[in-house]
Amino acid sequence: MMPALRNIVETARNYGAHAGGLLYERAGMLMVWQWLLLGLVPILIVLLYFLKLKRQPLQVPSTYLWHKSIEDLHVNSIWQRLRQSLLLYLQLLFIALVAWTLLRPTIQGKRLIGNRFIFLVDNSASMGATDVAPTRLDEAKKRAGELIDEMRTGDVAMLVSFCDGAKIEQSFSEDPRELRRRLDAIKQTDRSTSLAEALRVASGLANPGRSSNREDANDVQVAEAEPAQLFIFSDGKFPKVKDFSFGHLEPVYVIIGELEAANVAIGAFTTGRQEANPDQLQAFARLDNHGGEKVSVIAELSLNGELIDAKPIDIEPGDSTGVEYNPDNVETGVLKLSIDAKDALALDNTAWTTINLRRRGKVLFVTADDKPLEFALNTERVRELADVTQRTPDFLAQPDYRKLADGGGYDLVIYDRCRPEQMPQANTLFIGRLPLSDDWKAAEKVDVPQIIDVEQGHPLMQIVEMGNVLIVEGTPLFPPSGGTTLIETQAGAMFAIGPREGYEDAVLGFVIIDQNNFVGTNWPIMPSFPVFVLNVIEYLAGARASLDSGSVRPGQPVAWRADTPAERIQVKPPKDVPFEVSRGPLNTFNVTSTADVGVYEVRGGEQALGSFAVNLFDINESDVRPALELAVGDYKVEGKTSREPARRDLWKIVLLAALAVLLAEWYIYNRRVYV
């Protein structure tokens, strides 16, 4: 090989090595033939250079001094050779830079380690906070996207979004573009957060479960464990995840959000009737200040869009303040409470509650003869709330009863000292009998059980004073799991309520009047008895539920009870297009699409049936200060606030450098600048 050629080849090799170090990162992007093609370019340049190097002949008087000069300079090492073909090197450098540009060079502090990645992106309500512009979710997507860009060939990644549930946006894929596309498609939700499901989804491949029985020592692992790096992009505002072990997952918690983010939230908003004046509506709200500074806000209450009251509220940092409104002459409509806080999360600055027309409950009272109860069910107040039909136990055997009971014709059936052969599709109150179910158990009858405790927190026992009530004899009850003891005596539960397939059965362990018309208790002569009956009507006959729909959180299903005979109702959500809901098996319309906060209007054909409201009312979501660590099982994952090393595109800079080299080459060639 000619010395010059060897020199050039060596230098080209040096350039290659130099560029190679920088190119290495994206080396996997090119196929072998592409590399070969790229490798041909410098060779071509060298060849062209040699073709070009047909030196121009020039006659001179004497080459004597030139020979001497060349010989002198040849003594001077390799630098002279390098200078000799400076233009060639500049051209090679230019091509190297251009080739490098085409390879999309990037710089980064740290590479992704491993080749399996799982990106969990939180899209719960709190991720809509604007403390990091534009929103936390956008920031999370940006960070996740930066990591996706760092993936090399052979790396696979899974993308999961999670709020109150988890959704696999993209299962393990090698395609960064697809992952990017799916990532961009993740939408903000108004839902609360739960990491557990997302973790279970993520751990599926990394920690393959045993085939079935964890306790079985002989059970074997069904698949090879696939370790993966788990990136959680979240503000960490969710309950502690119990019973989960990362196993082969290597968690990285990327904190999204400002640590000092402040937010004022409406934590609760509900309506009720004044005890003294049931016609007077009251609205209660709780305002929470999730921030480090005292805030003053104006809480405005409007009915159907018209402002009816406004109150200035001061809230100490970290504290909550209640606010109460007494709007007059409100029969139906939508109450909206909004605060003018300039805070990170706007979602919880507005709350709604709806007041629907009272739907009269349908009550069947089955008794042989029970004057006190009959009397209590005949008060004016009860008649306002419900239609009470009184029948004798014979009625239970009739087809009419079966039809009505099974078809959801009643909201509440009161069985006084009797029991149906089949439980009705309705709430029930059993007096002196147990429901037809193995779940309910009873002990031996006891005489004069002493009431020692009353569960006044339960709607059935609210404002019911049992202090001087005497019971002649009673049967201690054992409610099914999930049930609640409402009246506790020294012998056991005398009044309890338990769930049954979406309905509730309340059981009184003692009778008001026994078969012989003897008084079983002195309760009926107490003022608390009619209150209790009213509570029963309000709670079990659904009269209260119809006053306001209570607080439904985003994503929670709403069981809409309607008198309408129609099989379908139309629901118009606050944002999306209306949809229809069919009557469910329990005679209710189960509305499950409640993802967005706001007011959902319900119509049955042409008739407006009312509306219900979906509110955030979630301290975890409203308190937007991100959690510094995640508690998962016994493991704590420290959060990282610093940016994950990001991939920064370099090609613009490299291209500029290439242009600079080109300019230098041009200048040197034309202006004879000798280096």
Partner 1 sequence: MITPTSDLLSPELLAQLERLELVSRKVFRGRMKGERRSKRKGQSVEFADFRNYSHGDDLRFIDWNSYARLDKLFLKLFFEEEDLHFYALIDASASMDFGDPTKLAYAKQLAASLAFIGLVRSDRVKIETIGQPARQSGPMWRGRRSLWRMLDYLEQISPGEPAPLAEGVKNFCLRNSGKGIVVLISDLMDKNGYTDALRYLMARQMDVYVIQVLSQEEIEPDVKGDLRLIDCEDEDMAEITVSAPLLKRYKQNLAAFVDGAREFCNRRGMSYILAKNQLPVDQLVSNYLRQRGLVR
The number of residues making up the chain comes to 675
Across 229-253, b (16+ Cβ under 10 Å) vs e yields bbbbbbbbbbeebeebebebbbbbb
DSSP state of 237: -
- Closest separation in Å from C-beta 92 to partner 1: 16
- Cβ neighbourhood burial of 325 (10 Å; 0-12, 13-18, 19+): buried
Of the candidates 27, 29, 48, 70, which one interacts with partner 1 according to CB under 8 A?
Answer: 70
- 575 in contact with partner 1 (CB under 8 A): no
For residues 489 and 472, is the Cβ–Cβ distance under 8 A? no
Query: Could you identify the residue written with the tokens 């400076």?
Result: 86
Which distant-in-sequence residues (6+ apart) come within 8 Å of 553 by Cβ? Answer: 191, 192, 614, 615, 616, 617, 618
Over the window 507 to 546, marking each residue x when it contacts partner 1 by CB under 8 A and - when it does not, the resulting string is ----------------------------------------
- 218 in contact with partner 1 (CB under 8 A): no
> Binding segment for partner 1 among 70-78, 385-393, 484-492, 515-523 (CB under 8 A)?
70-78
Residue in 276, 275, 264, 270 with CA at minimum distance from that of residue 324: 270
- 674 in contact with partner 1 (CB under 8 A): yes
- Closest separation in Å from C-beta 49 to partner 1: 10
Phi/psi-derived region of residue 75, left when phi > 0, alpha when psi is between -120 and 50, beta in every other case: alpha
- Nearer of residues 84 and 515 to partner 1, judged by Cβ: 84
- Closest separation in Å from C-beta 82 to partner 1: 10
Across 380-389, b (16+ Cβ under 10 Å) vs e yields eebeebbebe
CA–CA dist 372, 487 (Å, integer): 20
Question: Using CB under 8 A, which residues numbered 74 to 133 contact partner 1?
Answer: 76, 80, 83-86
Q: Which two tokens stand for residue 448?
A: 């004069």
Total chain residues near partner 1 (CB under 8 A)? 28
- 56 in contact with partner 1 (CB under 8 A): yes
- Written as one letter, the residue type at 588 is T
Which distant-in-sequence residues (6+ apart) come within 8 Å of 305 by Cβ? Answer: 336
- Closest separation in Å from C-beta 66 to partner 1: 4
Residue in 381, 636, 415 with CA at minimum distance from that of residue 505: 415
Q: Which two tokens stand for residue 320?
A: 């909550």
- 6 in contact with partner 1 (CB under 8 A): no
> Binding segment for partner 1 among 36-44, 72-80, 320-328, 470-478 (CB under 8 A)?
72-80
- 467 in contact with partner 1 (CB under 8 A): no
Of the candidates 1, 17, 32, 61, which one interacts with partner 1 according to CB under 8 A?
Answer: 61
Q: How many CB atoms lie within 10 A of CB 258?
A: 17
- 67 in contact with partner 1 (CB under 8 A): yes
- 59 in contact with partner 1 (CB under 8 A): yes
- Closest separation in Å from C-beta 11 to partner 1: 15
Of the candidates 63, 304, 522, 592, which one interacts with partner 1 according to CB under 8 A?
Answer: 63
- Closest separation in Å from C-beta 30 to partner 1: 35
- Please report which residue ranges of 362-462 form alpha helices under DSSP H: 371-376, 380-385, 399-406
Of the candidates 24, 33, 64, 518, which one interacts with partner 1 according to CB under 8 A?
Answer: 64
- 47 in contact with partner 1 (CB under 8 A): no
Of the candidates 1, 24, 55, 328, which one interacts with partner 1 according to CB under 8 A?
Answer: 55
- Nearer of residues 55 and 110 to partner 1, judged by Cβ: 55
- Closest separation in Å from C-beta 83 to partner 1: 5
- Nearer of residues 61 and 399 to partner 1, judged by Cβ: 61
CA–CA dist 345, 339 (Å, integer): 12
For binding to partner 1 (CB under 8 A), which residues are involved? 53, 55-70, 72-73, 76, 80, 83-86, 672, 674-675
